[in-house]
Amino acid sequence: MGRLRDLAAEDNSDTGIDMSPLIDCVFILLIFFIVTTTFVEETGVEVDKPQAASSVRLEKTSILIALTDKGEVVYGGREIGVSGVQPLVKRMLQKEEVPVIIQADTAAQSGLLVRIIDEAKLAGAVKVSIASRQSKS
């Protein structure tokens, strides 16, 4: 009779699934996705870019400066003005040699666009590009 009592006691024991390996796997996947995700940097304003047949994709790491139709020069969601372009580009180029991409609105003044390009080049930028939409052919 002692044997039956031992078997019955084992059946009543709490059998469950160990969740710690599953939680470890979830955390490892989370870390993997965080590390491998690339974040797209935007200027913070909506700009109507002109179309160009010769447009190509540039590198993901770049300095994005926006020029709105109202003449505002925007970087990272805040207005920096034309005078803020040169110090910004100098500071960014100290970390890494990256291209400067200007997202100019189609209605923006060309004189202001030329001043921004000039300020970026005076700051030491070797590669200054103007963003455009690829034309639909």
Domain boundaries, the chain: 2-36, 51-134
Residue 129 has pLDDT above 80, yes or no: yes
Contact 99, 63 (CB under 8 A): yes
Residue 27's Cα: distance from chain center in Å?
24
> What mean pLDDT is predicted for residues 64-76?
88
Percent of the chain having pLDDT more than 70? 70
Residue 58 has pLDDT above 70, yes or no: no
Percent of the chain having pLDDT more than 90? 15
pTM of the entire predicted model: 0.59
Of 9-18, 34-43, 57-66, where does the model show the most confidence?
57-66
**What is the side-by-side strand order in the sheet with 78-79?**
78-79, 73-75, 63-67, 100-104, 128-130
Contact 49, 132 (CB under 8 A): yes
Per-residue model confidence (pLDDT) at position 26: 92
> What mean pLDDT is predicted for residues 35-61?
64
CA distance readout (Å), 111 to 115, 120, 128? 6, 14, 16
* 80 Cβ neighbours under 8 A, 6+ residues apart: 65, 73, 74, 88
Q: Which residues pair with 65 in a beta bridge?
A: 102
The band of 11, judged by pLDDT with boundaries at 50, 70 and 90, is: low
Report the mean per-residue pLDDT for the chain: 79
Query: 51-134, which class in CATH?
Result: alpha beta
Enumerate helices (H) and strands (E) in the chain, giving the number of each.
4, 7
More confident call, 63 vs 136: 63
